[in-house]
């Protein structure tokens, strides 16, 4: 855990809820299946994550996948929690530029890139769920990420009242906005990333000159 303004943030441990009470083999199976699903997404996209495909990737029977997660939606929601926990650990205590030690602008850009990748990877289930668990803005995962962004904005000279700016900066990274930009506007992910980075850099430059 870093020293400084983020030292009071407590890791959510979203992916590990209830694992302490599981048998060791069940917990290992859960992590194995989540790793298999993440590997499928990284290499083939979210559409490739079926119960059959995850079972094959993990080298287990399909029944094991159903016992652990119940359905594809249950699996994807668990994977969202796992990915959210990974992002939080990365910005709290991971390597630069996402983690502590890098300049705040570099950290903010790295966070946006990581968040956008997660959104694209899990776009279908995020749209169905309305966010990590329904109401995105009320979820603890969003609250922690928003606090992280707010801390970086204060370090970048935006002053104490950064609530609106923090939400505005993250809005293009959310699932409905990404779907609109991809499907309706016709942008690709590289263009969305580049345009978002330019937006952030312009806002930071404006704050520095005011």
Mean pLDDT in the chain? 85
**φ, ψ for residue 4 (rounded to 5)?**
105, -160
- Residue 5: the pLDDT is 59
Domains annotated on the chain, with CATH = 19-209 (1.10.357.10)
What pTM was estimated for this model as a whole?
A: 0.74
Q: Report which DSSP code applies to 174.
A: S
Contact 204, 156 (CB under 8 A): yes
DSSP 195: H
Phi and psi (nearest 5°) for 178? -65, -45
* H-run or E-run covering 62: helix 62-69
Which tens digit of pLDDT belongs to each residue from 41-57? 888 877 788 899 999 99
> Would you state the pLDDT for residue 136?
62
Torsional sign, CA 50, 53, 56, 59? negative
């Amino acid at each position: 855990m870093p020293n400084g303004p983020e030292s009071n943030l407590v890791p959510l441990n979203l992916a590990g809820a209830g694992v302490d009470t599981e048998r060791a083999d069940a917990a290992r199976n859960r992590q194995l299946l989540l790793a298999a699903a993440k590997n499928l997404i990284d290499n083939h996209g979210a559409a490739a994550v079926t119960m059959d495909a995850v079972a094959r990737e993990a080298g287990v029977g399909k029944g094991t996948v159903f016992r652990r997660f119940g359905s594809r939606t249950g699996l994807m929601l668990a994977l969202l929690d796992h990915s959210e926990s990974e992002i939080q650990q990365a910005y709290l205590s991971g390597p630069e530029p996402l983690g502590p030690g890098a300049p705040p602008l570099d950290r903010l850009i790295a966070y946006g890139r990581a968040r956008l990748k997660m959104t694209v990877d899990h776009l279908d289930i995020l749209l169905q769920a309305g966010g990590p668990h329904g109401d995105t803005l009320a979820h603890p995962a969003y609250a922690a990420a928003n606090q992280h962004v707010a801390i970086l904005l204060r370090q970048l000279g935006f002053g104490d009242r950064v609530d609106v700016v923090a939400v505005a900066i993250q809005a293009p990274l959310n699932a409905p906005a990404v779907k609109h930009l991809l499907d309706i506007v016709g942008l690709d992910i590289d263009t969305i990333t580049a345009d978002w980075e330019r937006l952030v850099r312009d806002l930071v430059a404006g704050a520095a000159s005011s």
